[in-house]
């Protein structure tokens, strides 16, 4: 059932970025009202309803999350939203007397304690969830975040800083209230010691200190200590839980995140919202099932190695999926005692995804793209039956006669293969002779 709280409760402290002392009062709300932030310090007490339309996406909020409506903004909402999402609270009025949510100890724990003290109660209407029906991937050169269909809300996060205490490691959680409270909510926000001056120069972190922010030196937190194992990675999970609640509903899906932060989280929220508003996603341009792929590519079983193209940004980039099963014919002869997908076929699967991309761009009618050259190939992880190879391809250069494409294939958050591919355009009639 949907949830709210029984009675009002108040919290106050210095805000992390503005340095102002602010106070929030949480008040019960009726079913289906959602989450509303009310700026009591402004004339008319303007309200901001939580939802994807309220997300602030400009570069000034890259180190926190902000919401806005009609020019009225509330900053650093992510730790509070994580508490609401983690506890399953759907309806709440948040009165705030300043531009930024109190920072408290830099985690979600004090919000959790306050909300629990206000007695969380069920309402008389069933809870609504946002169901992920197609995989969605957002990435840049350094990081990525992907969500795939799943009945629960699960997160796998890989942290990897050029730092002795924050080297590559992955944490995984099934986000349910008890696990959230015990294993995620206490994790505090952090920054590296060398980032402090840059953060201050941007006018941020005015309320941060060594108690509400873990400032990580090579030896460990300055004037502090870790509260949890992998606390920094857990806080990144906390941020995702908060940022995903910007959708206004709890999500059912599994997230694979690799070094992502608020900016990519916000981009994922935007793509999820787009998918929900346009679930068909215009197949002619966005999604191709196996039957549509066979209309584009000349390959057939057993050499058709892409099962679905889940997204095409026309003339720019695309995402394909190969579900690797023991029934794939190549496993009969390629290390049959220990089945491993051949590296050349991983590259071929990426090339076929690239073929769908370049041949649906609209700039080369009546032509077919043939694999011409390969460079910078790297195999980083074995792919075995049961894996799902997600292949992201991007057009680097598209000319009259050739196309240069960069491809990366991942299993979960781990890169399995990458390569630069060159295609040559020729008349489609060539394949009919």
CA distances from 99 to 34, 71, 300, 326 (A): 21, 12, 59, 56
Q: Hey, how many other C-beta atoms are within 10 angstroms of the C-beta on 7? A: 11
Phi, psi of 344, rounded to the nearest 5 degrees:
-65, -30
Predicted confidence at residue 135, as pLDDT, reads: 83
- Exactly one of 36, 163, 299, 334 is catalytic; name it: 334
Q: What is the pLDDT of residues 184-205, one digit of tens each?
A: 999 999 988 888 888 888 888 8
User: Residue 281 above 60 pLDDT?
Assistant: no
Predicted confidence at residue 280, as pLDDT, reads: 46
Nearest to 208 by CA among 199, 218, 220: 199
Query: Is domain 290-432 in CATH 3.10.129.10, yes or no?
Result: yes
Which two tokens mark 331? 């496993």
Cα–Cα distance, 354 to 373 (Å, whole number): 13
Can 262 be counted among the known catalytic residues?
Answer: yes
User: Bigger pLDDT: 431 or 224?
Assistant: 224
Class of domain 3-122: alpha beta
User: Residue 429 above 60 pLDDT?
Assistant: yes
Predicted confidence at residue 289, as pLDDT, reads: 83
Q: Considering the chain, what percentage of its residues have pLDDT values greater than 90? A: 60
CA distances from 234 to 59, 146, 190 (A): 24, 17, 11
Predicted confidence at residue 410, as pLDDT, reads: 94
User: Residue 371 above 50 pLDDT?
Assistant: yes
Tell me which H or E stretch contains 198: helix 196-201
The overall pTM is greater than 0.95: no
Q: For residues 82 and 241, is the Cβ–Cβ distance under 8 A? A: yes
- Exactly one of 262, 266, 299, 364 is catalytic; name it: 262
Helix, strand, coil percentages for the chain (3-state, nearest 5): 25, 35, 40
| Domains in the chain: boundaries | 3-122, 129-277, 290-432
Q: What is the mean pLDDT of residues 35-58?
A: 94
| CATH architecture of structural domain 129-277 | 2-Layer Sandwich (3.30)
Start-to-end Cα distance in the chain:
63
pLDDT band at 234 (very low <50, low <70, confident <90, very high): very high
Q: For residues 391 and 341, is the Cβ–Cβ distance under 8 A? A: no
Rounded to the nearest integer, the mean pLDDT of the chain is 90
Q: Considering the chain, what percentage of its residues have pLDDT values greater than 70? A: 96
pLDDT band at 13 (very low <50, low <70, confident <90, very high): very high
């Amino acid at each position: 059932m949907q949830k709210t709280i029984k009675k009002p409760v108040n919290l106050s402290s210095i805000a992390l970025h503005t340095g102002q002392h602010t106070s929030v009062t949480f008040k019960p709300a009726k079913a289906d009202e959602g989450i509303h932030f009310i700026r009591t310090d402004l004339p008319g007490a303007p309200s901001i309803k939580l939802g994807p339309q309220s997300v602030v996406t400009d570069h000034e909020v890259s180190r926190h999350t902000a919401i806005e409506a009609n020019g009225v903004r509330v900053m650093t909402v992510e730790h509070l939203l994580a508490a609401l999402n983690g506890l399953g609270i759907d309806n709440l009025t948040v009165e705030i007397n300043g531009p930024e949510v109190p920072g408290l100890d830099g985690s979600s724990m004090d919000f959790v304690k306050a909300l629990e003290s206000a007695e969380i109660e069920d309402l008389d209407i069933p809870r609504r969830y946002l169901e992920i029906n197609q995989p969605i991937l957002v990435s840049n050169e350094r990081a990525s975040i992907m969500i795939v269909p799943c009945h629960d809300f699960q997160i796998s996060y890989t942290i990897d800083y050029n730092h002795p205490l924050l080297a590559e490691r992955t944490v995984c959680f099934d986000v349910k209230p008890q696990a959230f409270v015990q294993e995620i909510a206490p994790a505090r926000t952090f920054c590296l010691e060398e980032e402090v001056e840059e953060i201050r120069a941007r006018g941020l972190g005015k309320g941060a200190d060594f108690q509400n922010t873990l400032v990580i030196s090579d030896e460990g937190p300055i004037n502090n200590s870790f509260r949890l194992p992998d606390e920094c990675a857990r806080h990144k999970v906390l941020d995702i839980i908060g940022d995903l609640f910007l959708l206004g509903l709890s999500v059912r899906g599994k997230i694979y995140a690799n070094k992502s932060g608020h900016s990519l989280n916000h981009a994922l929220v935007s793509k999820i919202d787009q998918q929900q508003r346009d679930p068909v996603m215009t197949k002619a341009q966005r999604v191709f099932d196996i039957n549509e792929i066979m209309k584009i590519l000349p390959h057939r079983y057993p050499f058709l190695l892409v099962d679905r193209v889940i997204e095409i940004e026309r003339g720019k980039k695309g995402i394909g999926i190969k579900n690797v099963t023991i029934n794939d014919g190549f496993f009969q002869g390629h290390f049959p005692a220990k089945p491993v997908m051949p590296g050349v076929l991983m590259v071929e699967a990426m090339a076929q995804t690239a073929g769908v991309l370049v041949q649906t761009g609209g700039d080369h009618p009546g032509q077919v793209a043939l694999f011409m050259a390969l460079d910078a190939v790297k195999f980083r992880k074995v792919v075995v039956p049961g894996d799902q190879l997600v292949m992201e391809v991007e057009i680097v250069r598209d000319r009259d006669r050739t196309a240069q494409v960069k491809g990366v294939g991942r299993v979960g958050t781990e890169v399995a293969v990458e390569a630069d591919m060159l295609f040559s355009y020729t008349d489609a009639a060539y394949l009919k002779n």
